[in-house]
Copies of this chain bind each other. A is one copy, B any other.
Amino acid sequence: MSSQVTDLRGIELEAWINFLRAHAAVTRQFNAELLATHELTINDFDVLAQLSRAPEQALKRVDLAESVLLTPSGITRLLKGLEDAGWVSNRPCAEDARVTYAVLTPAGKKKLEQARKTHVASVRALFSERFEHDELETLASLLERLPQRDTSCD
């Protein structure tokens, strides 16, 4: 008599499973699109986007790692690809010889602008097709309360 059909495993598990499935389905779609039209992965795009909003389009590898939630070695390897493609270059740091900044090149900036056109449109389309504006605000603010950074060293 109560309400709708609900998951027997508890609401937390239901939310988690929906979350997992949605991530798999949505990233698969976005990655395929991005790869087909721009030869970039979501993480490539994400890193370029982070660089573009950074002062002087440059970021230390550690900071990049933290902001896109990859390990330092993951960032090293990802940047290798972007360097080979010419979207990113390296700049040594005058004050600290350990750090090499990753810098967005002009070509990289251009590449990002192109990719943004289609990718941002896809993201907007997927979300706004399914949700009203106020629902998107709710969703964004709920998701924001989940861990958004690596918790393994807290």
Contact = CB atoms under 8 A, between A and B. Distances in A.
Interface string A2-27: 00000101111111101111111111
B12 A148 contact: no
A146 interface: yes
Interface string A140-152: 1011111111111
Contacts of A120: 9-10, 13
Interface residues of A, number: 52
Contact of A140 (B14, B42, B46, B147): B14
A124 interface: yes
Given A29-B151, A120-B13, A127-B12, A140 B24 contact: no
Contact of A22 (B24, B130, B147): B147
B143 A22 contact: yes
Interface in A107-154: 120, 123-124, 126-128, 130-131, 133, 135-140, 142-152
A145 B12 CA distance: 17
A32 B19 CA distance: 18
Given A25-B69, A150-B25, A143 B19 contact: yes
A28 interface: yes
A13 to B, nearest CB: 6
With most chain B CB atoms within 10 A of its CB, the pick from A9, A18, A149 is A18
